[in-house]
Amino acid sequence: MRIAQAAAGRQVTLVAASKAQPVAAIRDLTEAGQRCFGENYVQEALAKQRDLDDLSLEWHMIGPLQSNKCEAVARRFDWLQSLDREKLIPLLERSRPPHLPPLNVLIEVNVSHEASKSGCAPEQIAPLAAKIAQTSCLRLRGLMAIPAPSPDPAARRATFARLRAMFESLRAQQPDIDTLSMGMSEDFELAIEEGATMVRVGTALFGPRKRAR
Ligand SMILES: *Cc1c(COP(=O)(O)O)cnc(C)c1O
């Protein structure tokens, strides 16, 4: 399929962005072999997780995280892709149940400066990574970003390339990181060509968003 083609032999993980998609649509995708799902709203995700309890799925929190939702994320998710401030780290750490493996964490970077309210400044990556490395219940896996949509493919490519460079310089400090999550329905092929190891795709998989449930 299109991901495999753009990846040209590299391993790229597909996270199905299932916000505002009904449980039945998620179930259909699992029957096609999909295991990783990304959700933006904790309440919505918890309800879906209950309905899909019979399946062994991997849940990624990809939306902005409020501090009062850290406990639920630490308890119920496998990945947090949107860690963007230090304050969240102790909240997550104290709520991760000891019988679970460490929560996989991506630092979300705001690469497009303007509008976007989520994501840390690039200068914050290294200090955040150092804090995560001091914990035992959080495992830093890499970076995530949601670049502002641009009609110009060259500008998008340049943004993805900048993220890749940030990822490589973080990896020089933290050699265990392995995940660069960038690219959505509109631009995942471009992102993969620029080094994404994980893409988050919603509408291209599910069709237009409906209301959940
Ligand atoms: C909704 C969403 C996606 C998927 O967007 P599509 O354009 O539907 O593929 C990816 N990442 C995040 C963080 C999202 O909120």
> Could you report the per-residue pLDDT of 150-199, keeping only the tens digit for each?
889 899 999 999 999 999 999 999 999 999 999 999 999 999 999 999 99
Q: Which of 6-20, 50-64, 109-123 has the lowest mean pLDDT?
A: 109-123
What's residue 212's pLDDT?
Answer: 54
Q: Is residue 16 part of a domain?
A: yes
Mutate to test the pocket of ligand 1, among 61, 163, 184 (most ligand atoms within 8 A of CB): 184
Are 77 and 95 in contact by the 8 Å Cβ rule? The answer is: no
Are 47 and 20 in contact by the 8 Å Cβ rule? The answer is: no
CA pair distance 167, 92, nearest whole angstrom: 23
Q: Is residue 199 part of a domain?
A: yes
Centroid of ligand 1 to alpha carbon of 18 (angstroms): 8
Centroid of ligand 1 to alpha carbon of 71 (angstroms): 23
Are 58 and 35 in contact by the 8 Å Cβ rule? The answer is: yes
Q: Is residue 49 part of a domain?
A: yes
Centroid of ligand 1 to alpha carbon of 98 (angstroms): 31
Q: Is residue 211 part of a domain?
A: no
What's residue 58's pLDDT?
Answer: 98
Q: Is residue 21 part of a domain?
A: yes
List, for residues 69-99, the tens digit of each pLDDT value: 999 999 999 999 999 999 999 999 999 999 9
Centroid of ligand 1 to alpha carbon of 67 (angstroms): 22
Q: Which tops the pLDDT comparison, 8 or 178?
A: 178
CATH number assigned to the domain comprising residue 98: 3.20.20.10
List, for residues 135-149, the tens digit of each pLDDT value: 999 999 999 999 988
Q: Is residue 212 part of a domain?
A: no
- pTM score > 0.85 for this model? yes
List, for residues 115-132, the tens digit of each pLDDT value: 667 899 999 999 999 999
Q: Is residue 75 part of a domain?
A: yes
Nearest CA to ligand 1 atom 5: 202
- Residue 67 pLDDT > 80: yes
- Residue 114 pLDDT > 70: no
Q: Verify whether ligand 1 is closer than 6 Å to residue 146 (CB atom).
A: yes
The minimum-distance atom of ligand 1 relative to the CA of 188 is 9
Domain hosting 183: range is: 2-206
Where are the extended beta strands (E) located within the chain?
13-17, 36-39, 58-61, 79-83, 103-109, 138-145, 179-181, 198-201
Query: Mean of the pLDDT values across residues 36-63?
Result: 98
As for how many domains the chain has, the answer is 1
Query: CA–CA distance from 141 to each of 108, 128, 180, 196 (Å)?
Result: 11, 12, 8, 13
